[in-house]
Structure 1
């Protein structure tokens, strides 16, 4: 590969060193010049963001993270939502829905909700507190970079913002049946969501790793020779030369020690297996009920599509469109999109490379939003447990649907979009746009 120069605006730089970067979407190497605070470096071939540089104050990020920790504690220990119907009341917390799913034998669903709403956000906040607090010390512990690597992986599964949409859908379904009062924990979750977004907008991976190097807990990035084989570290984003011995097999990142590969190993095979599995599971996810509403001894099962129709019949068209898009349209488009990417990549076609790269980015972004129905179910199951008056039981379709969402998210991560652009180099010899 040859190097190109990333597209940037001209302004007085705050970061003094130029750096070689590889586009994670198309594999193009770039020499990124010094950047000013807030500037973005974009790939000259496919337009992906190589880096969004932020000259952050670690003290500000540390304060935001503490605010998130306080909101997270309040969300877990304060009342979340209260339901009153026919003189009976039911109060639910964040943990209540997880426990209700587990008590009804759906431990798989309980585990998914627990990981995405409690475990992943909690571990991410804790890891950020330790990392940012450790960088304030004169001699930080040497395991901070490893902890930071782990926090970035865990953070991908934190779905607080999706949970809030699930709460909105559950609230709309309940307000016509009973009195629903939102507790202080709901506002704590809103605060946690806002603080998480603010902290994510402040933190820049390269700045954090530069602080690790400055504190002596991680080595400084080595110089890169573009004429030799290079690899992009999937863990820390560093571009480095592969060792000439053994063709680079068994190489490790010189900055974070993660395994290095020029391309994700067995990307096509793994993604095909995951896509086929998700396609099979999507059938029972739509045929079987995701929940059953039992009122006065009579049960009414609801599938995903019947839930959308119910919202539309109630006049909640915006919400019905939202649920239809997130729970029906998005999974189908993800499966079709991934299948298209796999077939065209295997055939080595050069058809609309940039558009296919954009399609991959969209698939990667929207996957988590299909969890709206799963979070809605966890809230409804926790609240509506009023004996003969009204009870909501989760259905087997919910497990299949949650599996589809999780598997397609993993499939989009296992696919390597750089393989699409490798065909351009193999067939035409072109390494630029």
Structure 2
């Protein structure tokens, strides 16, 4: 594909009828110049941000991210020494140590969120953007981009990096530490991936794919009961029996997420049940000179405070204590208001839902910190750190709350309140 076609693919059609994914308001979105944005008229959700050269710059940044990820995976992360013994750890050491300690569930979560999901996401995005430069991109690229969108919240490089930082602070008083090349690569990788997501115009990707397939839906059906695709956000004709698939990306179509409220309640209640053992049972146990010191989540915060690390203690307290509690309270309030059909503070509740969906992943800081400490500190009778059931339970809380937010359909708030309700109240 030449540069002229790529530039045309990055531009919008003259107009498009768009259904807001948060409040179901349908509105016409005109062609956008680079640097401009379109927001929902009813709930103020960002619908699209047009970028200059959204495909070319994203490709360059994803290639750079792939190189940095390779360096981060192959080089040492940190080296520690104590009592004449030296140990080093890489990105895979944490999952391996957790697995050998019998915590295979936690090992799987750490491996997936810190290595597998970022790797698949970067490789798939690079493959997709290279494919768009070919004269005949494969139709499989639509499914590839759908997978990338699903993986986006589970790729936690930036959260893992903060976990490494917290682990580093905790290790200063126990062992001698040397930072390895992988940690610098990981920092550069975080910045590169954030920049790659920032410069990418997702709708420009879908439009580039549309231009390669004349059968793809470019406009919007005139029917009032047209169904919005949750993956590519194009309106499709209503289905008449059976399971309908999006004409553009092939995703299953639903007017609203099936059993959304029931699934969100079930997942949230499960998270509440796990929250108690997550705070009661130890996340870590430090065994120094034969005596053990179990540490809970709050115990870790107190340790940071006693060491004078007040900003870091505040970060861990907010991510590991405040955020999970507020997420559960906010989700519960949103679900109750939806069930009751309340029309009050719809915009505020929609904004709260967006925050809940965005910040939940940051609670994984303690889980990543535990995986690094377990991998680095096992010096026999001198000092050893083991992870406990509290870390498994806490990881379950984080994952369940993320799934609960994903299961809930915010459009149901507006449906339950009635479309004529004043959004500003």
Q: Shorter-normalised TM-score: what interval?
A: over 0.9
Q: Which residue of 2 aligns with 1:306?
A: 299
Aligned partners of 2:134, 2:33: CA distance in 1, in Å?
Answer: 27
8 Å Cα contact 1:46-1:354 kept in structure 2: yes
User: Structure 1 residues 55, 238: closer, same or farther in 2, change over 3 A?
Assistant: farther
Aligned partners of 1:413, 1:148: CA distance in 2, in Å?
Answer: 18
Aligned partners of 1:61, 1:53: CA distance in 2, in Å?
Answer: 13
Deviation at 1:108, TM superposition (A): 0.2
What are the Cα deviations for residues 288-345 of structure 1, in whole angstroms up to 9, with x where unaligned? 0011000111100000011101110111111111111000111111111100001010
User: Structure 1 residues 137, 360: closer, same or farther in 2, change over 3 A?
Assistant: same
User: Structure 1 residues 218, 155: closer, same or farther in 2, change over 3 A?
Assistant: farther
Aligned partners of 1:217, 1:278: CA distance in 2, in Å?
Answer: 46
Deviation at 1:15, TM superposition (A): 3.4
What are the Cα deviations for residues 206-245 of structure 1, in whole angstroms up to 9, with x where unaligned? 10011111223871424331x52122211111123314x3
User: Structure 1 residues 357, 369: closer, same or farther in 2, change over 3 A?
Assistant: same
Aligned pair partner of 2:392 in 399, 402, 409: 399
- 2:359 aligned with 1:366, yes or no? yes
- 2:260 aligned with 1:280, yes or no? no
Q: Which residue of 2 aligns with 1:341?
A: 334
Aligned partners of 1:432, 1:89: CA distance in 2, in Å?
Answer: 61
Aligned partners of 2:38, 2:200: CA distance in 1, in Å?
Answer: 16
Pairwise mapping of residues 2-401 of structure 1 onto structure 2 (< 5 A)? Answer: 15-216=12-213, 219-225=216-222, 228-243=224-239, 245-246=240-241, 250-401=243-394
8 Å Cα contact 1:145-1:218 kept in structure 2: no
Aligned residue pairs total 415
Secondary structure of the structure 2 residue equivalent to 1:416: coil
The TM-score, its normalising length taken from structure 2, stands at 0.94
Aligned partners of 1:142, 1:323: CA distance in 2, in Å?
Answer: 44
Q: Which runs of 4+ in 1 moved over 6 A?
A: none
8 Å Cα contact 1:28-1:432 kept in structure 2: no
What are the Cα deviations for residues 259-302 of structure 1, in whole angstroms up to 9, with x where unaligned? 11111110000000001000000000000001100011110000
8 Å Cα contact 2:54-2:200 kept in structure 1: no
8 Å Cα contact 2:80-2:177 kept in structure 1: yes
Secondary structure of the structure 2 residue equivalent to 1:94: coil
Aligned partners of 2:12, 2:278: CA distance in 1, in Å?
Answer: 50
Aligned partners of 2:49, 2:285: CA distance in 1, in Å?
Answer: 47
8 Å Cα contact 1:228-1:241 kept in structure 2: no
Aligned partners of 2:384, 2:332: CA distance in 1, in Å?
Answer: 40
Aligned partners of 1:140, 1:241: CA distance in 2, in Å?
Answer: 26
Aligned partners of 2:360, 2:144: CA distance in 1, in Å?
Answer: 26
> Aligned Cα RMSD in Å?
1.6
After TM superposition, the structure 1 stretch with the greater mean CA deviation from structure 2, 54-63 or 372-381, is 54-63
Q: Which residue of 1 aligns with 2:7?
A: none
8 Å Cα contact 1:28-1:431 kept in structure 2: no
Aligned partners of 2:283, 2:214: CA distance in 1, in Å?
Answer: 49
Q: Which residue of 2 aligns with 1:6?
A: none
Aligned partners of 2:143, 2:416: CA distance in 1, in Å?
Answer: 35
8 Å Cα contact 2:12-2:204 kept in structure 1: no
The TM-score, its normalising length taken from structure 1, stands at 0.93
8 Å Cα contact 2:85-2:379 kept in structure 1: yes
Aligned partners of 1:222, 1:257: CA distance in 2, in Å?
Answer: 17
Q: Which residue of 1 aligns with 2:408?
A: 415
What are the Cα deviations for residues 178-229 of structure 1, in whole angstroms up to 9, with x where unaligned? 221110000111111111011101211110011111223871424331x521
User: Structure 1 residues 362, 79: closer, same or farther in 2, change over 3 A?
Assistant: same
